[in-house]
Amino acid sequence: MLTCCPHCRHRFHVSDAEREAWGGQVRCGDCGQVFDIRTTQNEPVEDLAQPDFGERPRKLNLGAFGVSLQDAEAPRAVARDKPGPGAPDASPEPPRRRPPGNETRDIAPTSVPTTPAMIPAVLKDDLTVAHPPRRSLRSTLAWGLACLFLILALMAQLAYEEREQLLAHPELEPWVRQACDLLGCPLPPRTDPASLHLISRQVHSHPGHPGALMITGRLENRADFHQPWPILEMIFMDIMGNPMAARRFAPETYLVHPPEGLMPPSQPADIRLDVGDPGPAAVSYEFRFLAP
């Protein structure tokens, strides 16, 4: 026989022995309500033939999305273990063994299957984060050494192009010259105007030109290296020390003998200057040596 739940109209199979057991009180496995199975409407099985609705619709092919039919129907199962408030318990105490051949439908499910995470296969490629393969230690070390070599090569090229500017820094000049001696790169001669001194000088009227002065002296290089001949600057000053007249002379102008190469150390050279007389207001003069 088929019995219909008066609350949710759910139908299930019930045998005659089960109708008389437990006082007829049962619990619906669909809505969880307790009712008397003897007072409900019973219908024979043969009268409940399902009507013909024509051609049945095709089932959705869930396998194309990586989901099985069992996984799709799993969330519909709901546990109904506990009765509602105030409802009697229809569970048999103790349960009776059912006679063989009278298999009936379970009224309430005993467990709720765990719903798996359902992700269609077509979306797995988009949701999966692509992790780049880990490089080996040898490959990482090789790349690091290559980058370090390129950085050092760039620094060396920059230092080669700006070597003359680096020579202006006293703390860098020895290192630059040692590197260029090993690599053979050309460098301008080393200069040190502070090591140049006039060891003797004389100022008197010019014998061949009235109103002019002739200055003679000896110039010495006290450095321990050869250096270019300097630019000689002569300044006349008044009694207050203010400049009145100034003039600069190239080595070909103030040297008695034409210069040959660089200025050797500890070898005085004779100089001679012919200048106009600045007048009686000029009471002093000063010599300055400038790098060429």
| 64 and 175 co-located in one domain | no
Q: Are 247 and 233 in contact (CB under 8 A)?
A: yes
Among 135-144, 179-188, 229-238, which is the least confidently predicted range?
Answer: 179-188
Q: Looking at the predicted structure, is the pLDDT value of residue 80 above 60?
A: no
Q: Are 234 and 247 in contact (CB under 8 A)?
A: yes
Within 10 A of 236 (CB to CB), how many other CB atoms are there? Answer: 21
| 167 and 114 co-located in one domain | no
Stronger pLDDT, 41 or 59, i.e. the higher one: 41
| 122 and 145 co-located in one domain | no
Q: Looking at the predicted structure, is the pLDDT value of residue 229 above 90?
A: yes
- In this predicted model, what pLDDT tens digit does every residue of 137-184 receive, in sequence order? 888 899 999 999 999 999 988 888 888 788 878 888 888 888 888 888
Place of tokens 């063989």: 100
Collapsing DSSP states into helix, strand and coil, what is residue 232?
strand
Q: Say if 133 falls within a structural domain.
A: no
Tell me which of 85, 105, 127 is where a domain ends.
127
Stronger pLDDT, 56 or 123, i.e. the higher one: 123
| 12 and 106 co-located in one domain | yes
Split into its structural domains, the chain has a count of: 3
Checking DSSP bridges between strand 42-43 and strand 2-4, what pairing results, if any? Answer: antiparallel
- In this predicted model, what pLDDT tens digit does every residue of 57-79 receive, in sequence order? 444 444 554 545 455 444 444 43
Q: Are 14 and 38 in contact (CB under 8 A)?
A: no
Q: How far apart are CA 248 and CA 236, in angstroms?
A: 12
Residue 292 is predicted with a pLDDT of 83
Q: Say if 132 falls within a structural domain.
A: no
The CATH number for 213's domain is 2.70.50.60
Q: How far apart are CA 218 and CA 240, in angstroms?
A: 28
Q: What are phi and psi of 7, to 5 degrees?
A: -95, -50
Residue 125 is predicted with a pLDDT of 62
Q: How far apart are CA 221 and CA 278, in angstroms?
A: 30
| 280 and 220 co-located in one domain | yes
Place of tokens 């820094």: 169
Q: Looking at the predicted structure, is the pLDDT value of residue 115 above 50?
A: no
| 123 and 157 co-located in one domain | no
| 210 and 165 co-located in one domain | no
Stronger pLDDT, 61 or 254, i.e. the higher one: 254
Q: From residue 46, how far is each of 1, 2, 10, 43, 255 by CA, in Å?
A: 9, 10, 17, 8, 139
Mean pLDDT along residues 269-285: 88
Q: Which of 17-26, 42-51, 134-143, 216-225 has the highest mean pLDDT?
A: 216-225
Tell me which of 79, 105, 127 is where a domain ends.
127
| 219 and 179 co-located in one domain | no
For residue 8, the enclosing domain spans 1-53+60-127
Residue 175 is predicted with a pLDDT of 87
Checking DSSP bridges between strand 212-221 and strand 269-276, what pairing results, if any? Answer: antiparallel
